[in-house]
Structure 1
């Protein structure tokens, strides 16, 4: 509890900002869902077959996994707030539509007859009789949708929309329970508060309710107009994958860019998730830059020919081929850094000592007793578990798990083998050993900024600034920086700035 209060005290400014983002996304999604679902439910009161179809459709939409839906939306609408709102609206439609339809359908026929007897028009009867009677049931559906939206909106952080999910993802990634708990508790309290407010609105007149909603809408619109009016002439969005290392790198990119051109605004989108999210966002011009590794380029983002694959074997520089293949896609891959952040199979040092494990081949003698925990990307890659099976002839009992959880599972003894990267701070934190890749499966992973060629040609001064990182940062230096962020809980921006200053890439401002 002491850690939680300390974290809240240290990050109260960030918490308020994330809370504002979460409220904004949730309210916009709820209002759009209400505007769509309630009129639709009113219309289908006289079209029962259509109502049955729509109930089925909204029900099916709600079964789509939220992460999959966000991934599907990125190529069409990019990253940030828009895809998050669309996904939340999709999930909110069913409870609002269903409750409105049921609430109107179950009105006592005698009320309908009385309204007809008074000569009320269809519209007047709707607003004077039907909606007021059905209102409790409708608002029950709205409350259900609101709670669902606030909970699901935590995933918006995965696509750069911010919100309270940022702290949850950060806490999981850095094994910081206080950060995770802060984000989760804030989201839960927010859901309770909004549920209470909706209950209060049910008891007051509809005019007061409409007034409150109007004020909220005007406040959000005003905030967006102010943000747009005060924004720099050009804003570059730099995104990074999950983890401390991408977070450090994008903060370095930001400082170097702002030094080269102080008039350019830079927005950082950290903890973005899977490679495909970033790649699709870059190609659709939704982000400007993100750090990528040459091994990932060849394994996931391009399709080298058989001859090209033979030219680049594990242990040899694959950056030139990665750069060439990306250029064919209209993408520019800048000069790489020094370190090689390649894959590794990792075990606890005590486990390695007990079974005399030094290489991946050594695992063959204990393969039946291995229980591995790999992330989904590693399981599905040819330079991952598929390659382990084909090149080493090894088969393990494998559990799939999120990349941020695998080291904790290894430390707790829930698994005894996992995948990792050679610069991971957890190797030092948990006293782990990276087994030697004695058959040369894992290719070199050299990191460099990736951007569209059109963007690079438009900003030659920014390209020159980012190329200052070429040949910089050793594996030991990167692991030390990751340790500072993941274990010592230093801010990625602080660690990035310190490195740039210490290595003469940035002058300290006095």
Structure 2
């Protein structure tokens, strides 16, 4: 452990740069997954037949081993940031789609009928009633996606990406445990931090509703 702390002390600025690159890849992929996943989840909930197709396709993507998927994407998009972000986007989709779908289908039909009874349009009912009620489920999807994306991003260096995976693979290739831990420990902490922050947000929303 002494070697690890010494290495971190001597290279902290470089490790911060790698951490920043890692976070940017994850946030970009996750943001794209949110932009696509929530509408797809809404579409799946509004049309059960379409929903089966959407969930099936998202499940197929999730079944692909992460490295195999990134290599296939590399063939099409080349090496670097863009390929990694597309891979993280695809891997983040399923939890967001599925949890949005589940959250919307769990809304009490009586509440939806009451909204229609007071003259709400379909869009008003969705954005003012159904989505707010489904929000805890959506946040669960985001929570899962964030943790998955942080883990998958560690293999980004294999296809020309940046991030903490550079230290992990350098440590493996050079048989240097200090470098391996210098990449693995921050990546694990990022996953725990993301999980905790979204979890706190969920608890805050639940407390607000029960108050």
Normalising by structure 1, report the TM-score. Answer: 0.39
8 Å contact kept, 2:168–2:183: yes
In 2, the alpha carbon distance for the partners of 1:121 and 1:26 equals: 36
In 2, the alpha carbon distance for the partners of 1:184 and 1:110 equals: 49
- 1:4 is paired with a residue whose SS is helix
Aligned residue runs from structure 1 range 73-472, under 5 A: 73-202=73-202
Give, in angstroms, the shift of residue 83 of structure 1: 0.4
Give, in angstroms, the shift of residue 129 of structure 1: 0.7
In 2, the alpha carbon distance for the partners of 1:3 and 1:170 equals: 15
Give, in angstroms, the shift of residue 197 of structure 1: 2.3
Q: Which residue of the partner structure matches residue 4 of structure 2? A: 4
Q: Which residue of the partner structure matches residue 237 of structure 1? A: none
In 1, the alpha carbon distance for the partners of 2:23 and 2:39 equals: 24
In 2, the alpha carbon distance for the partners of 1:81 and 1:71 equals: 13
Q: Which residue of the partner structure matches residue 209 of structure 2? A: none
Give, in angstroms, the shift of residue 200 of structure 1: 3.7
Give, in angstroms, the shift of residue 63 of structure 1: 1.2
- 2:175 is paired with a residue whose SS is coil
Higher strand share: 1
- 1:107 is paired with a residue whose SS is coil
Q: Which residue of the partner structure matches residue 249 of structure 1? A: none
Q: Which residue of the partner structure matches residue 28 of structure 1? A: 28
Higher helix share: 2
Alpha carbons of 1:203 and 1:128: their partners in 2 closer, same or farther (altered >3 Å)? farther
Give, in angstroms, the shift of residue 203 of structure 1: 5.7
- 2:111 is paired with a residue whose SS is helix
In 1, the alpha carbon distance for the partners of 2:79 and 2:204 equals: 38
Alpha carbons of 1:204 and 1:127: their partners in 2 closer, same or farther (altered >3 Å)? farther
In 1, the alpha carbon distance for the partners of 2:128 and 2:155 equals: 40
Whether 1:43 aligns to 2:7 is: no
Normalising by structure 2, report the TM-score. Answer: 0.93
Cα deviation per residue 1:344-363 (whole Å; 9 max; x = unaligned)? xxxxxxxxxxxxxxxxxxxx
Q: Which residue of the partner structure matches residue 63 of structure 1? A: 63
In 2, the alpha carbon distance for the partners of 1:149 and 1:193 equals: 13
Give, in angstroms, the shift of residue 195 of structure 1: 1.9
How many residue pairs are counted as aligned between the two chains? 205
- What are structure 1's unaligned runs of at least 5 residues? 206-510
In 2, the alpha carbon distance for the partners of 1:24 and 1:75 equals: 23
In 2, the alpha carbon distance for the partners of 1:110 and 1:47 equals: 19
Give, in angstroms, the shift of residue 143 of structure 1: 0.2
Cα deviation per residue 1:226-269 (whole Å; 9 max; x = unaligned)? xxxxxxxxxxxxxxxxxxxxxxxxxxxxxxxxxxxxxxxxxxxx
8 Å contact kept, 2:146–2:195: yes
8 Å contact kept, 2:44–2:52: no
- 1:11 is paired with a residue whose SS is helix
Cα deviation per residue 1:399-443 (whole Å; 9 max; x = unaligned)? xxxxxxxxxxxxxxxxxxxxxxxxxxxxxxxxxxxxxxxxxxxxx
Bigger radius of gyration among the two: 1
In 2, the alpha carbon distance for the partners of 1:12 and 1:152 equals: 23
CA RMSD of aligned residues (A): 1.4
Give, in angstroms, the shift of residue 138 of structure 1: 0.8
Give, in angstroms, the shift of residue 41 of structure 1: 1.0
